Structure 1
Amino acid sequence: MIKINKILILLLMIIFNVVIFTACWDNKDLTEKAFVTAVGVDRTAEGKVQLTLQIVKPTVMKAGEQGIPEEEAFWVFTTVGDTIFEAAKNQMTAVNRKPFYNHADLMVIGEEFARDGIMDALDFWERNHEPRLGSDIIIAKGTTAEEILKAKSDMEKIPSLHIKSILKNSKELAKVKKVTIIDVLKQLIQPGVSPAIGAIEIVEKEDLQKIEDMKIDSTAVFKGDKLVGWLNAAQTRGLLFIQNEVRNAVYNVDNPLNKNKKVAIEILDSNGKIDAQIVEWKLILSIKIDAVGNIADQQGKGDLTTKETFKKLSRDVENAIKTDIKDVLSIAQKEYKSDIFGFGEVMYRRHFEYWKQIKDDWADIFSNASIEIDVNVKIRGTGIIGKPSEVR
């Protein structure tokens, strides 16, 4: 019995020491490491690399266990170097802690840096073991990454979390091209496709900038790794239909039974496919979209549940989707000459021998190619009511 008690006491002492030393190690981790939540990369006027880190305050992390801290929950530090790695090392002199990138799940790249080419930034991210390749990446339109990461948020203690939430919600509504770093890297090394990356811009310039003063509803277009232009919200939606990334969207079309009134059609799902065929050595590119939707909102009077009105609404939504697709094709082909859709990738995979002959001229071939568009929309319901209620 005495021997058993001694063993139990020894086990308790071991457990106690493990808990104490683990707690001390965690505390040391918090105070000696700077936990990075977001990274920004810019080009200075002198041509150097400027690196901006958004870092969680360790005192706030510890205080958060007991209650909501009153002080700001983050720091923003900016350093400069000839390379990103040098700028990252210089952060240690500014932060006085070792930056820890394991929690960095957002990269913001300034417009000027993106126009020079983003591969340098991605190489640093890919080469080091700490950063996550699954982190979101976004381009700062008309501003710097530093300005974006310095902005505060009324919704989140850590502003980068607010940006990520907007990205997620906007993607679900087909308003932004949400991509990760690994997505972009794959496209850069894959023949026949150039990246398209979501963009964030400041709508209202304030002395104390906030995330609420910004919007995320446009897309940065790349040719190779260089930024060449932008897509607006409607063109972005067209791109997402082509790339089979629309799971929810809203189109407002005319009420066929009530002039000057609108009907909101909610797209509930869609399937987008692209194809490239060689017929008698002639290139034929095509896009096919199948979508289903519901009547989500009706202005004005009238029974929209008839077969004829369903057909009319379906045709109107089909035409609206075609317009978005034609707009994005036009700007990508004629203005940017960039295949962000992946037609070249289809050629590479399915018609490799033909691709080898045309790959060096693909930008010109793509920009002059005619593309067939087929859109089919099925309206399948009206919500939980048929006709709208009438006021007596």
Structure 2
Amino acid sequence: MEKENISLSQLLTQLINFLIGSAIVVGVGGDPNVRLNDVIQNITSPGKRGVMVILTIKGDIEKGASVDNMKKASPDAIVVVDYLAILKNDELIDFLSLVNTRNYLWITNKIDRTSLSVDCTKDKYLGVRIVNTMTKSKGKLVKGRAIINLKVRAEGYLDGSQCKQDLTQVNTFREFGKLTEKKIKRNLEETIRMLQKDEADIFGIGELINRQDHKNFKRIEKNWDQYFKDAIVNVDVNVKLRRSGIRTKSLLTEKK
């Protein structure tokens, strides 16, 4: 029996449906929402580099080309969207891992909700579910050097804990909130340093400075990649943890 090939529209439907449940949306908490127009605009912009979603097919490609593949509960092949490619001009220069993709979305204020594993001691962790977050970015040129200020505000709840602190105490949640702030700050700074090393401003900080200080930015726009690499980045994170995630004491805090 001759195979029926899958149409482009069906492939796009499968891709979109999978993207909704993909690791980026579910695990990371947001959709990069990159379209072809965005890629073209970023390639031609002096103040921003582009990203593209990386697609891979997992499974049997030949069986996956059939329309019947889409009717199965467990398809023979699926389109996987887990990483982002970093573009400089029209060249691929690096990749963003799942964690770095989340940090990119966080910095660009595209995170909806996400989960974090935060260490409270060397080998003990607490789970935090972020349900509301906002990032504000500001940039300026001071004495020929770019200054980037990021302000992250987030709310969440405790999703689980291996830590010994008493979960019935308000101070415990304040302490865990501070630990979460440090975790987010460290993660964002690591991603920014990685992109500075690549001289790839995928966050659009150059565009931001261009809008806020157009006259000075025009003087350095051709060398913005170098200015971004040498930029001073200040990350300020404030997290408020609510107490709705866990209603009882952790078993690890109970005395035997």
Identify if the C-alpha distance between structure 1 residues 366 and 300 changes in structure 2 by more than 3 Å, giving closer, same or farther.
Answer: closer
Report Cα offsets for 1:183-212 as digits up to 9, x if no partner.
Answer: 333433444111112223356788856444
Partner of 1:350: 212
- Contact 1:173 1:248 (8 Å CA) reproduced: no
1-structure distance, mates of 2:179, 2:213 = 36
Identify if the C-alpha distance between structure 1 residues 315 and 203 changes in structure 2 by more than 3 Å, giving closer, same or farther.
Answer: farther
Matches within 5 A, 1:153-302: 158-169=10-21, 170-171=24-25, 173-174=27-28, 177-201=32-56, 210-212=76-78, 215-254=80-119, 260-299=123-162
Partner of 1:75: 6
1:289 is displaced (CA, Å) by 0.9
Matches within 5 A, 1:57-206: 74-75=5-6, 104=9, 158-169=10-21, 170-171=24-25, 173-174=27-28, 177-201=32-56
Identify if the C-alpha distance between structure 1 residues 338 and 282 changes in structure 2 by more than 3 Å, giving closer, same or farther.
Answer: closer
- Contact 1:219 1:230 (8 Å CA) reproduced: yes
Unpaired segments of 5 or more residues in structure 2?
65-75
2-structure distance, mates of 1:217, 1:178 = 13
After TM superposition, the structure 1 stretch with the greater mean CA deviation from structure 2, 194-203 or 232-241, is 194-203
Identify if the C-alpha distance between structure 1 residues 330 and 201 changes in structure 2 by more than 3 Å, giving closer, same or farther.
Answer: farther
- Contact 1:267 1:294 (8 Å CA) reproduced: yes
Question: Structure 2 length normalisation: TM-score?
Answer: 0.79
**1:317 alignment partner AA:** T
1:173 is displaced (CA, Å) by 4.1
Question: Structure 1 length normalisation: TM-score?
Answer: 0.54
1:251 is displaced (CA, Å) by 0.6
Report Cα offsets for 1:1-50 as digits up to 9, x if no partner.
Answer: xxxxxxxxxxxxxxxxxxxxxxxxxxxxxxxxxxxxxxxxxxxxxxxxxx
* 3-state SS of 2:6 partner: strand
Identify if the C-alpha distance between structure 1 residues 305 and 223 changes in structure 2 by more than 3 Å, giving closer, same or farther.
Answer: farther
Report Cα offsets for 1:51-108 as digits up to 9, x if no partner.
Answer: xxxxxxxxxxxxxxxxxxx9966437xxxxxxxxxxxxxxxxxxxxxxxxxx85xxxx
Report Cα offsets for 1:277-322 as digits up to 9, x if no partner.
Answer: 2335543112111111111223476632422211221122222212
- Contact 2:43 2:88 (8 Å CA) reproduced: no
Unpaired segments of 5 or more residues in structure 1?
1-69, 77-102, 105-157
* 3-state SS of 1:364 partner: helix
- Contact 1:272 1:287 (8 Å CA) reproduced: yes
* 3-state SS of 2:140 partner: strand
- Corresponding residue pairs, total: 240
Q: Identity of aligned pairs, percent? A: 27
**2:230 alignment partner AA:** N
**1:193 alignment partner AA:** K
Greater Rg by CA? 1
2-structure distance, mates of 1:306, 1:285 = 37
- Contact 1:174 1:245 (8 Å CA) reproduced: no
Partner of 2:172: 309
Greater relative contact order, per chain length (Cα 8 Å cut-off, separation 6+): 2
2-structure distance, mates of 1:356, 1:343 = 14
After TM superposition, the structure 1 stretch with the greater mean CA deviation from structure 2, 231-240 or 171-180, is 171-180
- Contact 2:160 2:246 (8 Å CA) reproduced: no
1-structure distance, mates of 2:43, 2:186 = 29
Partner of 2:231: 369
1:386 is displaced (CA, Å) by 3.8
2-structure distance, mates of 1:245, 1:216 = 17
2-structure distance, mates of 1:248, 1:211 = 28
